[in-house]
Amino acid sequence: MMQRVPVAIFDNFWSTTLAFARSLGRQGVPLHFFGNGAGRWSRYCTRRFRCPPAESIEFQPWLRDKIRSGEISRVAPTTDLIAYHVSVLRGEFTPEVQRTIAPLVEIENCLIKTRFAVTSALAGCATLSTLAPDSLERAIAAGSELGYPLVMKPKSHLAVGVDRGRLLVDEADLVAHFRRYRIAPDQEEIAVKYPELYWPLLQRYVPSARTRVYSVSGIKDADGGVLTACVSYKAEQWPPDVGVSTIQVAHNDKLILEFGLNVLNQTLSRGIFEVEVLVDGEALYAIDLNPRAFGFLELDLARGSDLPLLWYKSTLEAQAPAPPSVPDVPIQARHWLLHLLKSLARRLAPGAEQPESAMSQMISVSMLGHRSDPLPMIISNLHLLRHPRSLIRAQLASARAPHEDKV
């Protein structure tokens, strides 16, 4: 019988939190929710606690004390910041849990995109042309070297918050938007530790990125290797070109799977992962590696890859590879609220993109929450409507024919 030890989940309104809660809660694992968010209203929530925000300077010392006291023994890896804090405090955990936490240098190489590009290149993997200017003058020169359009985005979501970046179509666009980032409140300490985060990176744009960013997702055991992995792709995203997935589609591709796992094995030794891959002609490029749970986790659950449960079991003992048979059926995960708004926008916006007819025939699962645990799903979706006008305007803009007139 599986041992059931409490897992700490730092609460928010995000899909990773809700998927973790559903996966572990239905197995009877006690879930302790810390902070304020939708997850604390889950049917699977065992206890609720207050805590400093994960973004605050008080959080890491507070977490250290809780680990030392034994009040927290396992932390669900649901966000970049949580993965970072847990890795910094890796030595505070018991040996069986410490075994499942990636060393800090690996987390840095994943979460800081310029370091990931260097690590991938040293491992012999093709990387997109990426430059990291630290002034507008150097950015203009970098733009001329890379060519337009190009992508500008943060090197990491550590320190700079939720900024996703943008597509720059010409030099005037770059001059208008390239600037030193404002560091998120209480994260100056991280910015001082990683000063490169003050400035965005510039990267060559691949047009297929709008509708075909592939993901190789799964979990790796420090001793047993990759336990399971599968391929999917980001069919729609918000905001366009640089956003998070709002429709993720199951896919089977042995070449992309092998390429993603090769990148993974050169960079990350353990934990839940998502390697993002772009295809440009015959070339494959790894553009990101998330060393934690990802937004379309419910899709992997629906395909038979219960990554949170495998993660939990690995904190109890080493796991051996036993990949499930991923069914070759058309299935997708949708962010229902954003999809509804975009569908409405398509009806209103002249020249709007039309959805792929094949996708409308697929089995669909919710990306944000699950009907078996409805209250946190409702609360999370309502949370998105705090600023309805800006949300609707964004969907109208993304529904229009993208950038054929600019690119």
Quick: pLDDT tens for 70-94: 999 999 999 999 999 999 999 999 9
For residue 180, what is the domain's CATH number?
3.30.1490
For residue 98, what is the domain's CATH number?
3.40.50
The β-bridge relationship of strands 271-280 and 283-290 is: antiparallel
Host domain of residue 184: 129-204
Does 388 lie in the same domain as 239? yes
Residue 270 lies in a domain: yes
Task: Give the whole-angstrom CA distance, residue 215 versus residue 233.
Answer: 6
Exposed, middle or buried, 180 (CB in 10 Å: 0-12/13-18/19+)? Answer: exposed
Cis ω for the linkage preceding 321 (within 30 of 0)? no
Residue 326 lies in a domain: yes
Task: Give the whole-angstrom CA distance, residue 376 versus residue 9.
Answer: 14
Higher pLDDT pick, 388 / 14: 14
Give mean pLDDT, residues 305-329.
Answer: 87
Torsion (CA) 290, 364, 378, 294 in degrees, nearest 10? 0
pTM, full prediction = 0.92
Which of 204, 222, 253 lies at the terminal end of a domain, its last residue? 204
Residue 40 lies in a domain: yes
- Is the pLDDT at 122 greater than 90? The verdict is no
Mean pLDDT of all residues in the chain?
Answer: 90
Does 163 lie in the same domain as 84? no
Comparing CA positions, the residue from 244, 261, 200 lying closest to residue 334 is 244
Task: Give the whole-angstrom CA distance, residue 359 versus residue 233.
Answer: 12
- Is the pLDDT at 403 greater than 50? The verdict is no
- From edge to edge, which strands make up the β-sheet containing 45-49? 7-10, 31-34, 45-49
Share of the chain above pLDDT 90, in %: 75
Does 364 lie in the same domain as 227? yes
Reported confidence tier of residue 243, pLDDT bands at 50, 70, 90: confident
Name 334's bridge partners: 247, 366
Task: Give the whole-angstrom CA distance, residue 401 versus residue 347.
Answer: 13
Maximum Cα–Cα distance for the chain, whole Å?
63
Residue 376 lies in a domain: yes
Exposed, middle or buried, 317 (CB in 10 Å: 0-12/13-18/19+)? Answer: exposed
Task: Give the whole-angstrom CA distance, residue 380 versus residue 370.
Answer: 11
For residue 333, what is the domain's CATH number?
3.30.470.20
Q: How many domains does the chain have?
A: 3
Amino acid at 24: L
- Is the pLDDT at 138 greater than 90? The verdict is yes
Does 383 lie in the same domain as 239? yes
Does 178 lie in the same domain as 219? no
Does 103 lie in the same domain as 223? no
Comparing CA positions, the residue from 337, 348, 336 lying closest to residue 400 is 348
The pLDDT, as a whole number, for residue 241 is 79
Residue 227 lies in a domain: yes
Does 263 lie in the same domain as 188? no
What DSSP element (H or E) covers 396? helix 388-399
How long a stretch of residues is the chain?
407
Higher pLDDT pick, 244 / 326: 244
Residue 266 lies in a domain: yes
- Say which range, 35-49, 118-132, 281-295, 341-355, has the weakest mean pLDDT: 341-355
